[in-house]
């Protein structure tokens, strides 16, 4: 295995330290009517190309969950991949993803 040196690109959200969040009364009233936890959750872990501009999806694993007894439980999981994944990386890549998915 030959290690490669690559740039690390991170996407983050920042806020100004002196800025204080503002809340309106109508927002507080609306929030109090919502349940604390959603009945369903969708968890996605996606991998993209590394270009700073115009990143492309390679593949993503997803997990649909339902809140049961105060715990999110998986009700469906799967994988999606770019239409041109085989063209860009070859058939072996798709076979590897299918192998990972089946375990």
Which residue ranges make up each domain of the chain?
A: 41-102
Q: What is the pLDDT of residues 73-90, one digit of tens each?
A: 999 999 999 999 999 999
Average pLDDT over residues 1-19: 65
Q: How buried is 59 (Cβ within 10 angstroms: 0-12 exposed, 13-18 middle, 19+ buried)?
A: buried
Q: What is the pLDDT of residues 39-78, one digit of tens each?
A: 999 999 999 988 877 888 999 999 999 999 989 999 999 9
For residue 62, CA distances in Å to 30, 38, 76, 92 come to 30, 17, 8, 21
CA 42, CA 65: separation in Å to the nearest integer?
Answer: 6
Q: Which is more confidently placed, 98 or 63?
A: 63
Taking the model in full, what pTM does it have? 0.59
């Amino acid at each position: 295995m030959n290690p490669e040196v690559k740039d690390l690109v991170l996407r983050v959200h920042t806020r100004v330290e002196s800025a204080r969040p503002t809340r309106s009364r109508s927002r507080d009233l609306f929030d109090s009517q919502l349940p604390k936890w959603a009945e369903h959750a969708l968890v996605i872990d996606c991998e993209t190309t590394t270009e700073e501009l115009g990143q492309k999806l390679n593949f993503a694993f997803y997990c649909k969950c339902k809140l049961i007894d105060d715990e999110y439980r998986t009700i469906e999981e799967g994988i999606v991949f770019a239409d041109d994944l085989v063209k860009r990386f070859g058939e072996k890549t798709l076979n590897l993803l299918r192998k990972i998915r089946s375990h």
